[in-house]
Structure 1
Amino acid sequence: MLAAGDLLTTDGQIEWRGLVLGAGTRYRWVKLEGWNDLPPARGGNTPHPSRHGTYLGRLLGDDRTITVELLITGPLDVFREAVAAVRAATAWTEAPDEDPLVVRLHDQTHMVMARCVRRAIPTDRHYALGLTRAAIQWVASDPRLLRLPAETREVSLQAPPAGGMRFPLVFPLRVGAGGSGGEATLVTTGNAPAWPLYHLRGPVPGPVIDLGGSILAFDPGFVVPAGQTLVIDTRHQAVTIDGTDLSRADRLWTRQWAPIPPGTSTRVRFFSAAGSAGYSPDARLTVTWHHTDL
């Protein structure tokens, strides 16, 4: 099965629902708007009651609107097929969800998850001759551009030194030297924070993930069984098991949700709150993230 962006072969191409637009296709790229731009900002500044200016609040990006203009031309039979393909790729389902929109520029491929909100195919006198200047517009609820392909690191469970950990545990946990494995370095080269996706494969009791000092720690009595995988989506702050909708967020006791800072090397550690008693060589943490740009 093809992954998002696999259909792109050269710069100046766009992939949407299996349709490739732009360089080397029947759809000549005229203009792309909203891709390299900053999205609109939502500021939380509050007016100062007795002085000029405001109190600074959070600055948050709004959704991203992307518009491409295309020139479609060719013999009438080819033209009709090209127009029909655009209409099919941009048609709504009964409950439209976001799909990957992928753009390749200057040897870099980025993706957003978006919905098509507008399609314009003028049907003037040129249309009858096999020529039209079409436009397609998408809105991405998350404005961040995710670089493809994704990065992945696999981390084994930390093998603690003899003696294990002392109970009761006090958070935030501090793990001293002496263990082996259980850590990896995550590197990001984007200009925006990257939110990782964790896949945690058991068996492991009381799993703990430490990303640069930010802790995600589960109830020490919570066990991820052998053969099952816990999925932790840091962007959406969701915890599920084995790809189901069954939430296990209730067992996450310490919730220091954190992204990987941009342009840095950050250490991630994976260990069990049960110490040596919780160690299994089969337990694994897989970290997936994208170099992220704005």
Structure 2
Amino acid sequence: MARLGRGIPVRQVVRRPPLVSYDAEAALPPFETPFRYPRDQQFTSGPFVTPFIYPPMQVSAPHIPGSLITRDGEIEWNGMLWSPSNQYRPSPKLTGWDSIKLSNGNVERGSRHGAWPGRKLAGQRIVNATVQLNDDSPTFQDSLDAMINSWAPPDGAEEYPLAIRTRGKVLIAFGAIIQADAPPDLFGIGVSNILIQWACSDPRRFGTDFNAVRLDLAGGTLTNPGNAPASPRFRFHGPVTTPRIQLADRILAFNVAIGTGERLDVDTANGDLGVYNTPGTVQLADYVRLDAFSVPVERLTLPGGTWPIQYIPDAGGAGGFDVFWRSTWW
């Protein structure tokens, strides 16, 4: 039994109402963002200049052989002029330029005196010249190096133009230097008598003029003022079937049909021919059969003088044909 006045205290209990949330709408003032950028300003700038960064336009054209020559006795070799007016002075003792060597095609008869006459063909042209390098100055070695570089052998069978003027006429042959010698005995005084020899596989010499003409079905005339037969180049424009020409009593014809936008190129100097598109950028065929009554391509030549040429295709040919040639001398 508990003592009086010392009972167990009663625990206090506190009761609260439950927490409840309610949605409510509240009106807010307009939302504003202060403009912090500076106000519009006006200013004046100088002229606007763009630097020109493109390189200047440069146009180059192939060198015309013989165009550097201005007087008799000058030699132009592959674009390099040797002249009495510069340090490369040719000697007048030039051999092989105005001469020709023919092979004897005669065949000895076996049963009687004499021989059967054969065709005479000219061999390659061998030209010899002496050029005196005369440059008694600090540039002597540079002049000598330029001369030596001129006879550096090509990588292949390339031949380069050799132009010489004699008696007021410039003629051009194409060849390569096969022998050269620059004796050093007079180097001390800036002189060297250089011996040079060329071999020109084609013995013919050509004028500086390059002739071109377009002919149609009416034909025309071609003139070669030289004394050696020229080897023209022809270009037949399609559409044409069996393009055929007659020149100097010889007929050249091809058993081929050239379509519209095509052309047939023929080079009688080396027998090359092919069918191309009109711009000449795409070769369509590299083999074209000759017609039965045609001479070989290399046998059609333009002899010296003026000759009629006829264009006689089997069909078509309204596009005509082009002829390119040089005046030719022995």
CA contact (8 A) 2:237 2:317 kept: no
CA contact (8 A) 1:11 1:23 kept: no
CA contact (8 A) 2:136 2:191 kept: no
For 1:237, the equivalent position in structure 2 comes to 271
- Greater mean alpha carbon deviation, residues 200-209 or residues 184-193: 200-209
For 1:170, the equivalent position in structure 2 comes to none
For 1:68, the equivalent position in structure 2 comes to 129
For 1:250, the equivalent position in structure 2 comes to 289
Match of 1:270 among 285, 296, 311: 311
For 1:226, the equivalent position in structure 2 comes to 260
CA contact (8 A) 2:75 2:90 kept: no
- Cα–Cα, structure 1 residues 139 and 225, in superposed 2: closer, same or farther, change >3 Å? same
Distance in 1 separating the partners of 2:203 and 2:105: 18
Distance in 1 separating the partners of 2:229 and 2:248: 13
Letter aligned with residue 32 of structure 1: L
Structure 1 spans left out of the alignment, 5+ residues: 159-181
Distance in 2 separating the partners of 1:245 and 1:105: 45
Letter aligned with residue 135 of structure 1: L
Question: 1:141 aligned to 2:201?
Answer: yes
Q: Alpha-carbon deviations, 1:136-161, whole Å to 9, x = none?
A: 111011111112212222212x1xxx
CA contact (8 A) 1:238 1:249 kept: no
Local SS of the residue matching 1:185: strand
TM-score (norm 1): 0.81
Match of 2:163 among 102, 107, 113: 102
CA contact (8 A) 1:146 1:291 kept: yes
Letter aligned with residue 129 of structure 2: V
Output aligned runs, 1:1-294, within 5 Å: 1=61, 2-30=63-91, 31-38=93-100, 40-124=101-185, 126-156=186-216, 158=217, 182-219=218-255, 222-242=256-276, 246-250=285-289, 252-256=291-295, 257-262=299-304, 264-274=305-315, 278-280=316-318, 283-294=319-330
Distance in 1 separating the partners of 2:97 and 2:204: 10
Letter aligned with residue 96 of structure 2: G
Local SS of the residue matching 2:140: helix
- Cα–Cα, structure 1 residues 254 and 232, in superposed 2: closer, same or farther, change >3 Å? farther
CA contact (8 A) 1:116 1:136 kept: yes
Distance in 2 separating the partners of 1:77 and 1:199: 53
Q: Alpha-carbon deviations, 1:204-224, whole Å to 9, x = none?
A: 2321112133211222xx332
* Fraction of identical pairs, as percent: 27
Distance in 2 separating the partners of 1:73 and 1:210: 54
Q: Cα offset for 1:134? A: 0.4
- Cα–Cα, structure 1 residues 84 and 245, in superposed 2: closer, same or farther, change >3 Å? farther
* TM-align CA RMSD: 2.1
CA contact (8 A) 1:29 1:71 kept: yes
Number of residue-to-residue matches in the alignment? 260
Local SS of the residue matching 1:88: helix
Structure 2 spans left out of the alignment, 5+ residues: 1-60
The structure whose residues are more often strand, as a share, is 1
CA contact (8 A) 1:47 1:53 kept: yes
Local SS of the residue matching 2:289: helix
Distance in 1 separating the partners of 2:311 and 2:132: 52
Distance in 2 separating the partners of 1:87 and 1:191: 35
TM-score (norm 2): 0.73
